[in-house]
Structure 1
Amino acid sequence: MAGKMTAPPPPFGPSAPPPSYEETVGGNNSAHSPPKGGMPPPYPQQHGPPIYVANQLVFQDRPVQMTCPSCRQLIITRIEHKAGTLSWISCGTLFLLGCWAGCCLVPFCVDAFLDMDHFCPNCQALLGCYKRL
């Protein structure tokens, strides 16, 4: 028994090699058959036309053309202005500089200082916000 040697067990997990690309993706080009090993596909399958989902980086200080995720219509967003961080900081700065007689309220009247909310004109859903700061 002294001459018989065995390989040490692997430090972690099973000793089987990882699946190949064909096994993971499904080498038979069938989008509906799961890959070997009973694991779900690596990415969800899309059925029908892709739907554009908006994120913060899409919205600007002007209307944006997109597909509404709520009503799934191609739209140009409707924007509404609202006071944001930049408006309040500018107002406070002007007040500290001596503009007490109402001039410190000018940033609330200038669109360049205001944030914008983007809405769908069809279903009125809030799609996102554009913030100056």
Structure 2
Amino acid sequence: MYQQNQVQYPPNFQQPPMAQQPMMMNQPVQNMTNSTPFPVQATCPSCQKTQTTIVESKAGSGTWKMCCILFVFTGCCCIPFCMDNCKDKVHHCSSCQAELGKFEYKVC
């Protein structure tokens, strides 16, 4: 009859134990508030609630750098302070108003 190829092990051979699969643990969500200017879902370390952040625009170092650049080349330096795109975005918890992170505006 037809015999399938079977591996012949020596009599004292022991197979290695099966590797255990890693357990899936609930890992904390990465803090995305420093990487996006848009509202994101975040867990507040103060009140432990997971909610969508509130984003506030504030003038930061990038705003001041753009102001200096515009002053040198055009003489008008107030434009970056009037544009939200040239400001830092500060994320706050929608429950307790704690600051969760800041997305900084970069000139270049």
**Inter-partner Cα distance in structure 1 for 2:82 and 2:67:** 11
Q: Contact 1:82/1:115 (CA < 8 Å) preserved in 2? A: yes
SS at match of 1:127: strand
**Does residue 78 of structure 1 match 2:54?**
yes
Which ranges in structure 2 are unaligned for 5 or more consecutive residues?
1-24
Structure 1 counterpart of 2:86: 113
Residue identity (%):
38
TM-score by length of 1: 0.54
Q: Contact 2:33/2:103 (CA < 8 Å) preserved in 1? A: yes
Aligned pair count reads: 88
Candidates 88, 92, 97, aligned match of 2:68: 92
The Cα shift of 1:68 comes to 1.6
Candidates 56, 59, 63, aligned match of 2:39: 63
**Does residue 128 of structure 1 match 2:101?**
yes
Superposed counterparts of 1:18-33, under 5 Å: none
**Inter-partner Cα distance in structure 1 for 2:56 and 2:71:** 26
TM-score by length of 2: 0.65
Which ranges in structure 1 are unaligned for 5 or more consecutive residues?
1-45
Runs of 4+ in 1 over 3 A off after TM superposition: 49-53
Structure 2 counterpart of 1:27: none
**Inter-partner Cα distance in structure 1 for 2:40 and 2:58:** 18
**Inter-partner Cα distance in structure 1 for 2:69 and 2:51:** 39
The Cα shift of 1:95 comes to 1.0
The Cα shift of 1:51 comes to 4.3
Q: Which has the higher contact order (CA 8 A, sep 6+)?
A: 2
Deviation string, structure 1 residues 10-63 (Cα, Å, up to 9, x no partner): xxxxxxxxxxxxxxxxxxxxxxxxxxxxxxxxxxxx8xx654362665x41111
* Aligned AA (1:128): G
